[in-house]
Structure 1
Amino acid sequence: MSTSATAGRRSVLGSKDRVKTAVAAALGTSVENYDFIAYGTASALYFGAVFFPESDRFVGTLLSFATLAVGFVMRPLGGAVGGYFADRFGRKPVLVTAMIVMGTATFLIGLLPTFEQVGVLAPVLLVIIRMIQGLAFGAEWGGAITMAYEHAPWHRRGMFAAIPQSGNPLGIALASGVFAFSDTLEGSWQWRTPFLLSAVLVVVALIVRSRLSESPEFQEAQATGKTEKNPLLATLTGDWRGILRVIALRVVESFAYYSTATYLLNYITDRHPELRPVALGAITAASILAIAVTFLAGALTDRIGRRPIYIAACTMAILFAFPMYLLTNSARPALVVTVFIIGIGLIHASLTGTQGALLTEQFRTATRTSGASLGYQIAAAIGGFAPLLAAALVGAFGWPGAALLYLVAALIGLAGILLTRETWGRGERERVSRLVAEEKTGRATPSSAASPPASLESR
């Protein structure tokens, strides 16, 4: 790194806005996930009947999950576009723009006419808005994580990157809670209310995000001429291995969530309708637990490294694949709640808490948002088909088909982390700890304070 004035002012203790930035990023990711999860929940519970009423129940469910998957297909494009602009012109503008687009699209879903009112135009409008949602969500994640990571103290980047990741279960909990409430309402208000209420959350998050300062690492790269003219092309040609690693690492997390919270909810509703309130409540409770587990997992990676937590979580997912359905098929409320607590509150949360730093550290500053976003969103696009694939497999083979799908995703994740080298090993942790101690005692030199962790500098 340069030892210019800009670089020299960088601190291993992070920027003065580090906490505000992480919290603001978390508020934004919570809103984004609220919006996206609201669609997934509505797809599982309502959209088959509302937008595809002329199909039988099974086909209607498949068509509803297909519109869910459309949004995921658009996410890699959103990640590519958002990553390009974030690495080229700055992280903050992308975060604000993505929030506006996502919030508007979600609010409009709450105003859509039904198939009964306008015929085939209703599902067409739904798909168009869903595509816009996917673009915005794809652009959002990389910028939020990168901002939190780059503002953070070097020895606490796992924890700070986990703060916006904690916004994911917070948004999920809010969406699930609102759906649990709206389920008590009459008629179309059951599915419209959660989308319309999102406007309040969007306004709050937009105000907070608009007051953020730009990433100090991006400002340094820009000042020293180290940004890429085409960061997306540079990522695809120079960092493609990192993208593949991110895809493998992300697939297990994406499948772990959507196989549980979206498909399993539909599975329970179809076979045991009386348990739907229990399942919705369990998702809410599991998501609240996941807020803490996500944060703790990120903080723990700062102490022991990124790989151990991810390996443990992937192993848990492998062991949980078939028991998840065996417990659900018992139709006992306590066991159904246990399934969601383990699947979302422990396994999924441990993966997401580690991902913030782990995936970001696969790339250098100039291509960080592009690389992390593209890999993350390609995997999300694959994971978005989890409910559709699970429904099709259950239709063909019964519940073991869905369990096997979950197992395969977990095995891919385990293979991915075993093939990924540690980005925060013991030697690196000790080196950065010395820099932190020097700066705290006033003995750090500008050049030492400007040097990033070696694991990132070598990329």
Structure 2
Amino acid sequence: MSTSVPTPRRSALGSKDRVKTAVAAAFGTSVENYDFIAYGTASALYFGAVFFPESDRLVGTLLSFATLAVGFVMRPLGGAVGGYFADKHGRKPVLVAAMTVMGAATFLIGVLPTYGQVGVLAPILLVALRMIQGLAFGAEWGGAITMAYEHAPWHRRGMFAAIPQAGNPLGIALASGVFAWSSSFDGSWQWRIPFLFSAVMVIVALIVRSRLTESPEFQEARATGSTEKNPFLATLSEDWRGILRVIALRVVESFAYYSTATYLLSYLTDRHPDLRSVALGAITAASILAIAVTFLAGALTDRIGRRPLYIAGCTAAILFAFPMYLLTNTARPALVVTVFIIGIGLIHACLTGTQGSLLTEQFRTATRTSGASLGYQLAAAIGGFAPLLAAALVGVFGWPGAALLYLGAAVIGLVGILVTKETWGRHERERVLALVAEEHRARTASGTPTGEVLPSTSR
């Protein structure tokens, strides 16, 4: 006689580990972003001279940003591989593996020999490690977001999906803060210390992530046999429109950050070296502000929907494209700080806070990580060229070239959100709130804690 295995039942109130999972995902995301952003900051401030010393200043900067872009090119591959395994075998193993690989690559960058020590081998090793970083980072995002989203209460998914997104500015703030601190050291320690410091953060993050429980939504899909044999191919054949929407929505956010925190930092410090510490401090302050704004933006989407907030973010980016350079060109510290606060702390944070739920909701459970990761990382591969393109355009047209690049990305994002249907409209909110209230009453009556299966007499 066969024994039937009960199918896991998801709770509209979320799993019992919903808060722990979201916080752990955010902690891991902050470490991943610290590692990835550390490279961007070092590219803007140090790598042009350390790894390409025989070039003139402009060429050295372009080559440094080119190695930065290599990591972004690898991210779609990492997203495809990570998404495939997350949708087929589970979200948790991918998160742990991505963290391990990213941490190892970042630490090794911190001990690399320079061009002056080993010649052309130095930039070759740098590019190789940057490619590994890109693979790991590409695999990271989709798993972290889907874990937080799928553990969350159904009526608070915007807020919970924004928690790991808030790990992005936290990692950025940590990276900028450590670089500001290490700038007081002598020689190569100025850029080596931030990379070496990541080893401690990675160990802590691995301990935290290893204790997570698997996504209840994925467990249900696996138990009911509704997972895909090949999630990657299923995504390409069935959800390609969703991938295109994600790319358009993500491009504006990616350009908004890298045009500001990476290229604008380089642009400013090349012309006014004495403002380097001011700029780094401004990025740190803006990133700390962005942690709160990202979370609040995600929470707000649960009340008003995803589209209105994203439309507002894209519109703000369009209006800010030229003023950001006009203000920076004054070289006044207060105005420089204002530029980074607006660009990173408000505009970029508004977009990232909305993305967690908005991009995830473009796909069903069986292909969710694959579709969201692939679209997100393809757009990141494009956005990774923002500093390189901005530097090239400024070399030809002056600062208006960089402003037009930022403006163009913002327009793409606005068009993308205008053609994307609302995933959390009024009727959907009302339906889910009714389900949440019904389950809450049933659990109160039966004494069943949130996250556990209700008695069989209950819905």
TM-score grouping bracket, smaller chain normalisation? over 0.9
1:413 corresponds to which residue? Answer: 413
1:457 corresponds to which residue? Answer: none
2:7 corresponds to which residue? Answer: 6
1:342 corresponds to which residue? Answer: 342
Listed as ranges, the matches of 1:264-343 within 5 Å are 264-343=264-343
Q: TM-score under structure 1 normalisation?
A: 0.95
1:45 corresponds to which residue? Answer: 45
Query: 1:438, 1:444 within 8 Å by CA — same for their partners in 2?
Result: no
Quick check: 1:397 aligned with 2:421?
Answer: no
Listed as ranges, the matches of 1:354-393 within 5 Å are 354-393=354-393
Quick check: 1:135 aligned with 2:123?
Answer: no
Distance 1:10 1:261 in 2: 41
Distance 1:136 1:313 in 2: 28
SS of residue matched to 1:129: helix
Amino acid at match of 2:340: F
Deviations 1:68-113 (A, max 9, x none): 0000000000000000000000000000000000000000000000
Listed as ranges, the matches of 1:35-434 within 5 Å are 35-434=35-434
Deviations 1:374-406 (A, max 9, x none): 000000000000000000000000000000000
Distance 2:60 2:183 in 1: 20
Distance 1:440 1:303 in 2: 20
Amino acid at match of 2:59: V
Amino acid at match of 1:235: T
SS of residue matched to 2:322: helix
1:16 Cα offset (Å): 0.3
Amino acid at match of 2:7: T
Amino acid at match of 1:46: Y
What is the root-mean-square deviation in Å for CA atoms of aligned residues?
1.4
SS of residue matched to 2:442: coil
Amino acid at match of 1:401: G
Can you give the 5+ residue segments of structure 1 that lack an aligned partner in the other structure?
A: 451-459
Distance 1:344 1:99 in 2: 25
Amino acid at match of 1:177: G
2:456 corresponds to which residue? Answer: none
1:444 Cα offset (Å): 11
1:453 corresponds to which residue? Answer: none
1:5 Cα offset (Å): 3.5
2:25 corresponds to which residue? Answer: 25
Distance 1:420 1:397 in 2: 34
Query: 1:74, 1:131 within 8 Å by CA — same for their partners in 2?
Result: yes
Distance 1:440 1:24 in 2: 26
Deviations 1:209-267 (A, max 9, x none): 00000000000000000000000000000000000000000000000000000000000
1:443 Cα offset (Å): 7.8
1:454 corresponds to which residue? Answer: none
Distance 2:251 2:277 in 1: 29
Distance 1:202 1:292 in 2: 23
Distance 1:259 1:308 in 2: 24
Distance 1:182 1:40 in 2: 16
SS of residue matched to 2:283: helix
Deviations 1:155-189 (A, max 9, x none): 00000000000000000000000000011110000
Deviations 1:401-432 (A, max 9, x none): 00000000000000000000000000000000
Distance 2:10 2:354 in 1: 25
Deviations 1:27-53 (A, max 9, x none): 000000000000000000000000000
1:312 Cα offset (Å): 0.2
1:318 Cα offset (Å): 0.2
Distance 1:312 1:10 in 2: 34
1:354 Cα offset (Å): 0.2
Query: 1:95, 1:209 within 8 Å by CA — same for their partners in 2?
Result: yes
Distance 2:11 2:226 in 1: 19
Q: TM-score under structure 2 normalisation?
A: 0.95
Distance 2:62 2:325 in 1: 20
Distance 2:405 2:30 in 1: 28
SS of residue matched to 1:331: coil
Distance 2:205 2:303 in 1: 31
Deviations 1:106-164 (A, max 9, x none): 00000000000000000000000000000000000000000000000000000000000
Query: 1:305, 1:422 within 8 Å by CA — same for their partners in 2?
Result: yes
Distance 2:10 2:59 in 1: 57
SS of residue matched to 2:423: coil
1:455 corresponds to which residue? Answer: none
Amino acid at match of 2:388: L
Amino acid at match of 1:37: I
Distance 1:127 1:223 in 2: 42
2:457 corresponds to which residue? Answer: none
1:6 Cα offset (Å): 2.4
Amino acid at match of 1:305: G
1:440 Cα offset (Å): 1.0
Query: 1:435, 1:444 within 8 Å by CA — same for their partners in 2?
Result: no
1:62 Cα offset (Å): 0.1
Can you give the 5+ residue segments of structure 2 that lack an aligned partner in the other structure?
A: 452-459
SS of residue matched to 2:7: helix
Distance 2:329 2:294 in 1: 28
Amino acid at match of 1:429: R
